[in-house]
């Protein structure tokens, strides 16, 4: 390969991509910016591996199995192993496989960002199966369109409705509310605090309650009717009447009332600011450059939240290309980039996928297990503890021993000549190829992007 003259290509593949694989660096170097911008197309997932219907079919099977075995007192854990784990692990492996082999790594980075922005955790047997569906069904198809469409698709997805307890929330004056059940504010609160306006978004407790009423009745069918198990608006649980949120009045309009609120939230100035900031912080630096965030916010406002336009502004902004790497890779970024470094075929070895998943668990970033609707942290300090580093070392040691790659050619593929003399010397002094590769993947350069 010819020497890479363009430092921006190295930034493009490592900072914005998922770490170079194959001939990516030489492809990117012709026009790094264009190489990134042409990637802004939604990833496509194999539906046969899992969608809402198949997820609820697993739940139906699980429940039937439990009923059949009621007398034998089967352990809940055995049922999980039989039904939940294979389905869930299949989805985890599939998305990791896509990340490792993709030739649009930038789109996957953005996909992972929004999947974490709308974090759902598999905190029980049902959610363990349903949570991983959210990103495939609601996020991927809407990734580069209007944020409003993405937002509505996410908030109406069974995974989110279940995770934040909206499926049983009914308005106090609705038909169902007058009988027994009541309003649950959880989803409404997180929509405002985490999904749109942000922590200091200027909303009140009254706004939260009003939004909860606007989306009361947003529910899903579930495993009782597998073929029709997705989103269902239950008008008998919807709070009747007009709502007033952030000073604006929304007249009664059934399911569309809540959707109208979400559309306004999606283009709100605070939403523009908070998600632009978060995106820049994720990609560029923990304290992202102010001008960059301002430019992104402006594009957001102008396009009423067109994600592709906002991302394009980020890529075209000079402050996104500072040569110093500011971000320490999160475990997922680290694991994926390491696997991309050692894997240069289009097919990922099953054993590599297993190792990748073990790595994510041991480093504390298991898929769909953030345990908080805020998702996993994207800040350096949260991934740089001493124990975290030790776990990173042990994992790379495991991976490095399985690879026959020549560290020198891996270096060429990822950094070309842009490694410190100390790292070059350390690699040259390694006792074996495996150790050389291990040292490369643990080098200060590879740990940052």
Partner 1 sequence: MADKDNKKIDRRNLLKAAAGSFIAWHTPAVFSATTKLFADIVNAPRPKLVWVILRGAMDSLHAVLPLSDPDLMLHRKRLVASVKEDTFDLGGGFALHPAFKELNHLYKQKQLTTVVAVESGAKTRSHFYAQDILESGLPKMDSDSGWLNRAVEAYQGQSLAIAHTLPLGLRGTQLSKTWYPDSLQPARDDLYERLEVLYKDDDILSERLAEGLKNRQLLAAMKKLKNKYSFPSLAASCATMLADRDGPDCAMLELTGWDTHQNQIGRLDRKFKELDQGIAMLRENLAEQWDNTVVVVTTEFGRTVAENGTRGTDHGTASAMFIAGGAVAGGRVQGRWPGLSAADLYQGRDLMPTSDTRQWIRAILSQHWKLNAAQLDYVFPTIKTIDAQLIRPLSKSMTAL
Among 42, 63, 430, 433, binds partner 1 (CB under 8 A): 430
Segment near partner 1 (CB under 8 A); pick from 9-17, 64-72, 92-100, 161-169:
161-169
Segment near partner 1 (CB under 8 A); pick from 31-39, 106-114, 338-346, 425-433:
425-433
Q: What is the crossing angle of helices 421-428 and 433-442, to 10°?
A: 160
- Does the footprint of partner 1 cover residue 442 (CB under 8 A)? yes
Map residues 225-254 to x or -, x wherever contact with partner 1 holds by CB under 8 A: ------------------------------
- Does the footprint of partner 1 cover residue 357 (CB under 8 A)? no
- Does the footprint of partner 1 cover residue 127 (CB under 8 A)? no
Among 48, 180, 323, 324, binds partner 1 (CB under 8 A): 180
Among 257, 273, 276, 443, binds partner 1 (CB under 8 A): 443
Least distance (Å) from partner 1 to the CB of residue 266?
Answer: 21
Q: What is the crossing angle of helices 421-428 and 407-414, to 10°?
A: 160
- Three-state DSSP at 249 gives strand
Cα–Cα distance list, 444 to 15, 284, 328, 374 (Å): 14, 17, 9, 29
Least distance (Å) from partner 1 to the CB of residue 382?
Answer: 4
Q: Counting Cβ atoms within 10 Å, is residue 41 exposed (0-12), middle (13-18) or buried (19+)?
A: exposed
- Does the footprint of partner 1 cover residue 391 (CB under 8 A)? yes
Can you tell me the distance from the alpha carbon of 50 to that of 422, in angstroms, rounded to the nearest whole number?
47
Can you tell me the distance from the alpha carbon of 375 to that of 75, in angstroms, rounded to the nearest whole number?
30
Q: Which tokens sit at 59?
A: 């739940």
Residue 31 makes CB contacts below 8 A (sequence gap 6+) with none
Least distance (Å) from partner 1 to the CB of residue 127?
Answer: 13
β-strand 231-233 against 218-220: which pairing, if any? antiparallel
* Span 370-389, contacts to partner 1 by CB under 8 A: 371-372, 374, 377, 381-389
Segment near partner 1 (CB under 8 A); pick from 37-45, 103-111, 337-345, 426-434:
426-434
Can you tell me the distance from the alpha carbon of 321 to that of 314, in angstroms, rounded to the nearest whole number?
10
- Is the CB of residue 25 less than 8 Å from the CB of residue 9? yes
% helix / strand / coil in the chain, to the nearest 5? 60, 5, 35
The residue among 80 and 123 lying less far from partner 1, judged by its C-beta, is 123
- Residues forming the site for partner 1 (CB under 8 A): 123, 165, 168-170, 177, 180-186, 189, 193-194, 199, 205, 290, 358, 361-364, 371-372, 374, 377, 381-391, 393-395, 397-398, 420, 422-423, 426, 429-431, 435, 438-439, 442-444, 447
């Amino acid at each position: 390969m010819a020497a890479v003259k363009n430092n921006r290509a190295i930034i493009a593949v490592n900072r914005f991509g998922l770490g170079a694989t194959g001939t990516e660096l030489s492809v990117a170097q012709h026009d790094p910016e264009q190489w990134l911008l042409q990637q802004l197309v939604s990833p496509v997932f194999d539906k046969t591996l899992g969608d809402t219907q198949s997820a609820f079919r697993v739940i139906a099977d699980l429940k039937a199995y439990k009923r059949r075995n009621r007398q034998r007192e089967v352990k809940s854990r055995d049922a999980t192993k039989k039904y939940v784990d294979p389905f869930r692990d299949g989805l985890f492996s599939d998305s990791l496989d896509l990340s490792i082999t993709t030739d649009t790594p930038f789109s996957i980075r953005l996909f992972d960002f929004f999947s974490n922005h709308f974090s759902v955790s598999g905190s029980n047997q049902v959610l363990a199966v349903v949570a991983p569906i959210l990103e495939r069904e609601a996020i991927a198809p809407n990734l580069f369109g209007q944020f409003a469409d993405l937002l509505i698709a996410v908030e109406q997805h069974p995974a989110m409705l279940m995770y934040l307890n909206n499926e049983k929330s009914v308005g106090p004056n609705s038909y169902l509310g007058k009988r027994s059940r009541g309003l649950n504010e959880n989803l409404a609160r997180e929509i405002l605090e985490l999904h749109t306006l942000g922590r200091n978004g200027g909303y009140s407790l009254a706004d939260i309650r009003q939004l909860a009423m606007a989306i009361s009745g947003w529910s899903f069918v579930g495993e009782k009717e597998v073929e029709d198990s997705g989103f269902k608006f239950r008008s008998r649980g919807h709070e009747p009447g007009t709502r007033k949120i952030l000073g604006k009045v929304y007249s009664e309009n059934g399911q569309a009332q809540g959707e109208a609120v979400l559309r306004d939230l999606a283009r709100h100035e605070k939403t523009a600011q908070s998600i632009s900031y978060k995106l820049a912080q994720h990609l560029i630096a923990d304290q992202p450059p102010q001008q960059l965030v301002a430019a992104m916010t402006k594009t957001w406002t102008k396009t009423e939240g067109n994600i592709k336009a906002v991302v394009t502004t980020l890529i075209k902004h000079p402050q996104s290309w500072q040569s110093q790497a500011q971000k320490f890779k999160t475990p997922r970024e680290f694991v994926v980039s390491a696997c991309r470094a050692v894997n240069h075929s289009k097919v990922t070895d099953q054993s590599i996928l297993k190792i990748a998943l073990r790595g994510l668990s041991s480093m504390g970033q298991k898929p769909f297990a953030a345990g908080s609707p805020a998702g996993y942290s994207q800040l350096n300090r949260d991934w740089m503890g001493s124990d975290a580093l030790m776990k990173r070392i042990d994992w790379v040691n495991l991976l490095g021993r399985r690879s026959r790659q020549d560290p020198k050619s891996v270096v060429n593929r990822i950094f070309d000549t842009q490694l410190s003399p100390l790292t070059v010397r350390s690699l040259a002094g390694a006792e074996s190829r495996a150790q050389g590769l291990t040292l490369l993947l643990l080098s200060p350069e590879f740990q940052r992007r």
